[in-house]
Structure 1
Amino acid sequence: MDDHVISTNKIPRLLGHENYIKWKVLFEAAVNYNDTELWASIKYGPYVPSDAPNANQVLERQMKRRDDKALSMLKLGLSWEILTSVNHHTNAKAMYDAVVEMFKGNVELRDIKKDILKQQLDCFKFKEGERLKFVLQWFIAIVNEIRTTDLQISNFELNKKLLSSMTGEWYTASKFIKEKVNFPNFNLDDVISFLQAAEHEIIKNNIIKEERPSFWYPML
C-alpha cells in the first residue's frame, strides 16, 4: 500500500472541547506520517501561485495538489458541526488556525484560565482522613487542565506540591518518596503509585472517610 494514501478511518476526529488536545496532537502526527509537506502547508501557509514567467509548472501543480490534499484531510478530521463553522476558509492553514482559535480562546481568556488553575494548584491541600483516590482525582484534574495551556510547571514541581500537601498521617510515606535517589526524575504517575501502595497501611491505622472531599471543585 502506498504510504501516501490516507485512510479516512485513521484520521482523528475533532468532536469538541473534551477531545481538542488529544485531537491536535494526533492530527499533527497523522498528517506528518503521511507527508511532512502536508503539515507544512497547514502550519506555514497555503500554496501561492508564482507570477514568474519561467515558473516550474510541474512543481506548481504539485504544490497546489498538496495544499488541496491538506485541506481535505483537515475537513475529514472535523465533526460536521465544527466544519460548518470554518468551511468558508479556502486553504488548510486558515481553516486550521480558525479551529485552534475556536478551542483555545483569545489571549485574555487563556490568561484568566491560567491564573485560576495556578490558584487552584496553590490552594490544593489534603484534609485529615480524606481518601487518597478522591483527593488525587482533584489534583489530576487540575494537572490535566494545566497541560491544556502553555503554563509551564515541571513534573518535579508537581510532585513536590502533591507531597507537601499531605497531612500528618502521610508523613512517613511522603518522606520515603522524597528521599529516594531518583526522586527528581519521577513523573507524577510514579509518585501516585508509591502513595497508592502506602495507603493500605495508613487505612489500617486511621479512620478514612469514603465520601468525596468537601473541597471538591468543578474544573473550568
Structure 2
Amino acid sequence: MDEQEVSTNKIPRLLGQENYIRWKVLFEAAINYNDTELWCSIKDGHYIPSQATGNNETIKRQMKKRDDKALSTLKLGLSWEILTRVNYHTNAKYLYDAVVEMFEGNVELRDIKKGRLKQQLNIFKFKEGDRLKSVLQRLMTIINEIRTIDMQISDFELNKKLLSSLSGEWFMARKFIKEKVNFPNLKLDDVISFLQAAEHEMIENHMIREEKQSFPVTNALVAPMGNLSIKSQ
C-alpha cells in the first residue's frame, strides 16, 4: 500500500519534494497546536523551562524525555524512504535540520535562494496576454517558496507588488484598493478576492459593450432589405 500524506496519528507525513512545502507548514502547525514546547525542541533544540527549579539532573531528565518525544513525533511524520536517510540523528533538532537541508540545501544555499527569490519578486510583472489567474499562479509560486525558507515579507509589500504588476486596464481596481482606509493592513487573500471580483465585472462589461456594438451592424444589414419593393410576377 502507498503511504498516506497524513499518518494515522494525524501528523502530516512528508513523502517527497512534491509535498515538502505543504508538509513543512502543516507539520509545524500540528505540533504547535498540540504542544508548543514540543515544537521548541524540534526547531530550537532541547526545551528548557524558563523558571527551572530542582537539581540539574532532574532538569536534564525532563529535557531528554521531551526531546525523545519530539524525535519520535518527527520520525512519525517522515516516509520510510526519507527516514532511512536521516535516522542516524539522535536529537530532534538535528533530525529536523537534516530534513530541511535535504529539501532546501544548507545555510549558504538557502541564502543564495533567498537572493534569487527576492530578485524574482522585484522583477515580477504582467505579461502580454496574461489573465489574472496566470498572474496569481506565477506570483504564488514565488511566495510559497519564500514562505518555506523563513524569508520575511509582509502582506503589504506583496499587495503593492501584485497591484503594480497588473496592466493598465486594472487602473480603477488598483485605485480603489489603494484608497481604502485600511490598505496597509489588508491581507493578500483580501486583495486577491477583490481582484477576482473586479475581473468578473470587467468581463461582464466587456460582453455588454460587444453586444451593443453588434446591434448597429445587424440593423445596417437588415434595414435595406425591408425597404426593397417586391414585384409581382
Task: State the TM-score, normalizing by the size of structure 2.
Answer: 0.70
Determine the C-alpha separation between the residues in 1 that align with 2:111 and 2:23. Answer: 22
Aligned residue in 2 for 1:72: 72
**Structure ranking higher in helix proportion:** 2
The question of whether the paired residues in 1 share the 8 Å contact of 2:47 and 2:66 is answered with no
Aligned residue in 2 for 1:145: 145
Aligned residue in 1 for 2:134: 134
Post-superposition offset of 1:8 = 4.6
Determine the C-alpha separation between the residues in 2 that align with 1:167 and 1:180. Answer: 20
Q: Which amino acid aligns with 2:206?
A: N
Post-superposition offset of 1:205 = 3.2
Distance 1:92 1:120, change over 3 A: closer
Determine the C-alpha separation between the residues in 2 that align with 1:61 and 1:130. Answer: 59
- Sequence identity percentage: 76
Distance 1:170 1:99, change over 3 A: same
Which protein, 1 or 2, shows the higher relative CO under an 8 Å CA cutoff with sep ≥ 6?
1
Distance 1:152 1:61, change over 3 A: closer
Aligned residue in 2 for 1:160: 160
The question of whether the paired residues in 1 share the 8 Å contact of 2:158 and 2:188 is answered with yes
Aligned residue in 2 for 1:99: 99
Post-superposition offset of 1:174 = 1.0
Post-superposition offset of 1:62 = 5.6
Q: Deviations over 1:55-107 (max 9, x none)?
A: 767x7666554443332222211101110101112233332222222222112
Determine the C-alpha separation between the residues in 2 that align with 1:201 and 1:63. Answer: 59
What 5-or-longer segments of structure 1 have no aligned partner? Answer: 1-6, 48-53, 207-220
- SS at 1:9's partner residue? coil
Aligned residue in 1 for 2:52: none
What 5-or-longer segments of structure 2 have no aligned partner? Answer: 1-6, 49-54, 208-233
Q: Deviations over 1:155-209 (max 9, x none)?
A: 1111111111221111111111111111111111111111111113433439xxx
Tell me how large the CA RMSD over aligned residues is.
Answer: 2.9
Aligned residue in 1 for 2:196: 196
Aligned residue in 2 for 1:169: 169
Aligned residue in 1 for 2:229: none
Aligned residue in 1 for 2:45: 44
The question of whether the paired residues in 2 share the 8 Å contact of 1:170 and 1:202 is answered with no
- SS at 2:13's partner residue? coil
Aligned residue in 2 for 1:214: none
